């Protein structure tokens, strides 16, 4: 199983949901980047389970430990190792899936691939692994901030309730004002209510995280296979429960004519190249054009529902499986920092690749 992401700024994650620890090794992070443990912790606090009444009640504090690579508040250019020790596993809740497959989780596919699996809390397939990405993403976000690049993600849809405006009309400083992380206050309240109702019905509900990246200079990306949007898409689709990725005008663009869809160039009063519209989502030919990059990520209603469902066991026998354990009725609020982190890892890597690309 490949657990490594990135080309120059690379991460490798390790750990299982009910094992000893989950963590990350970051290679290729430049030396001299100022970073504190509090900054890493703050990002983990946004992702941690048990953070509000609408997330899984598994109460992990996710206290991060820096094992290597950071000294005197700065990265050293050496491998950075960050780890969180699991404290609140409750593995006894998972004996029912030791030899049975939850519909639409990864129990069957892991067994098909490896012949065995750590069934405790889904083992490696649990989204607990994403804490490692979030920890690494803090380093990438700090590095990008030095280049003037800012990433903001927010929940734009839960079930069929969506924010009635796009990112250009929302106050993105409000994302963390509500527990659901939608910056439109009325919509946020409706989303919270829907998640609570869904949880009380022992069901789950999906939604959309929208992301905007500002301050990206023109010229980042690669022209053929590692196109900037292709790498963003891969990064997003590697997040648990993600079912869709679209950037710029996405699927809606197909109903427009070229004359409507084309982003017309102009030069502003400072001599900067700009476009009057941004249907391209800030990327043309796999390379950033200096406009905002924006995209959407669709998350499914997650698999574990706390009600009986029909399934099969390892011998192929039909069974009734009663959902157990502590689960998210909706992953969207916790997915926001994961999307931030994965976007940052992609962008940081392309900034570093660009430094190797030109003489000056």
Ligand X SMILES: C=C(O[C@@H]1CC(C(=O)O)=C[C@@H](OP(=O)(O)O)[C@H]1O)C(=O)O
Ligand Y SMILES: Cc1cc2nc3c(=O)[nH]c(=O)nc-3n(C[C@H](O)[C@H](O)[C@H](O)COP(=O)(O)O)c2cc1C
Interface residue list for ligand X (CB under 6 A):
17, 49, 56, 58, 60, 121-122, 126-128, 131, 240, 325-328
Distance of CA 56 to the CA centre of its chain: 17
Q: Is 278 a residue that touches ligand Y (CB under 6 A)?
A: no
**Nearest residue to 246 (alpha-carbon basis) of 300, 294, 182, 302:** 294
Binds ligand Y (CB under 6 A): choice among 60, 118, 263, 328: 328
**Minimal distance, residue 83 CB to ligand X, in Å:** 14
The answer on whether 86 is annotated among ligand-binding residues is no
Coil, helix or strand for 43?
A: helix
Give the CB-nearest residue to ligand X. 121
CA distances from 98 to 94, 109, 330 (A): 7, 14, 25
Q: Is 334 a residue that touches ligand Y (CB under 6 A)?
A: yes
Pairing state between β 64-68 and 70-71: unpaired
The answer on whether 47 is annotated among ligand-binding residues is yes
Question: Using CB under 6 A, which residues numbered 238 to 277 contact ligand Y?
Answer: 239-241
Q: Is 181 a residue that touches ligand Y (CB under 6 A)?
A: no
Task: Decide whether 136 or 293 has the Cβ nearer to ligand X.
Answer: 136
C-alpha span between 229 and 357 (Å, rounded): 19
Q: In the chain, what is the straight-line distance between the N-terminal and C-terminal CA atoms, in Å?
A: 38
Question: Using CB under 6 A, which residues numbered 26 to 85 contact ligand Y?
Answer: 56
Which entry of ligand X, ligand Y, none binds 335, CB below 5 to 8 A by partner kind? ligand Y
251-257: long-range contacts, CB 8 A cutoff, minimum separation 24: 253/279
C-alpha span between 307 and 267 (Å, rounded): 59
What are the b/e assignments for 39-72, b being 16+ CB within 10 Å? ebbebbebbbbebeebbbebebebebebeebbee
**Minimal distance, residue 108 CB to ligand Y, in Å:** 10
**Minimal distance, residue 150 CB to ligand X, in Å:** 25
Return the structure tokens found at 72: 């005197």
Binding residues: 47, 53, 124-126, 240-241, 285, 300-304, 326
Q: Which residues bind ligand Y (CB under 6 A)?
A: 56, 105-106, 125-127, 130, 239-241, 300, 302-304, 327-328, 331, 334-335, 338
Binding-site residue numbers for FMN are 124-126, 240-241, 285, 300-304, 326
């Amino acid at each position: 199983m490949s657990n490594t992401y990135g080309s120059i700024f690379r991460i490798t994650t390790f750990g299982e949901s009910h094992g000893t620890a989950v963590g990350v090794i970051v290679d290729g992070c430049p030396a001299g980047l100022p970073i504190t443990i509090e900054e890493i912790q703050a990002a983990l606090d946004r992702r941690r389970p048990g953070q509000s009444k609408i997330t899984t009640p598994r109460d992990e504090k996710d206290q991060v430990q820096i094992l290597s690579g950071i000294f005197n508040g700065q990265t050293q250019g050496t491998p950075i190792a960050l780890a969180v020790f699991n404290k609140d596993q409750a593995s006894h809740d998972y004996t029912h899936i030791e030899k049975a497959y939850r519909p639409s989780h990864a129990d069957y596919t892991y067994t098909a691939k490896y012949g065995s699996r750590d069934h405790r809390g889904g083992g490696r397939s649990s989204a607990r692994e994403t804490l490692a990405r979030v920890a690494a993403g803090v380093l990438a976000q700090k590095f990008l901030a030095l280049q003037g690049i800012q990433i903001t993600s927010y929940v734009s849809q839960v079930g069929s309730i969506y924010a009635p405006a796009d990112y250009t009309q929302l106050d993105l400083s409000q994302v963390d004002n509500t527990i659901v992380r939608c910056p439109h206050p009325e919509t946020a309240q409706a989303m919270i209510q829907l998640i609570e109702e869904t949880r009380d019905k022992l069901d789950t509900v999906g939604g959309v995280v929208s992301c905007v990246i500002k301050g990206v200079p023109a010229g980042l990306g690669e022209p053929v296979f590692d196109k900037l949007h292709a790498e963003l898409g891969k990064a997003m689709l590697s997040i648990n429960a993600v079912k869709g990725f679209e950037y710029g005008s996405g699927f809606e663009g197909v109903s427009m004519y070229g004359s409507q869809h084309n982003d017309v160039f102009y030069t502003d009063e400072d001599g900067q190249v700009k476009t009057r519209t941004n249907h391209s989502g800030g990327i043309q030919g796999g390379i950033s054009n200096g406009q905002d990059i924006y995209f959407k990520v669709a998350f499914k209603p997650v698999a574990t529902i706390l009600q009986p469902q029909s399934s099969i066991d390892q011998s192929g026998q039909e069974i009734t499986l009663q959902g157990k354990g502590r689960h998210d009725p909706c992953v969207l609020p916790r997915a926001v920092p994961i999307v931030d982190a994965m976007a940052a890892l992609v962008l940081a890597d392309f900034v570093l690749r660009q430094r190797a690309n030109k003489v000056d």
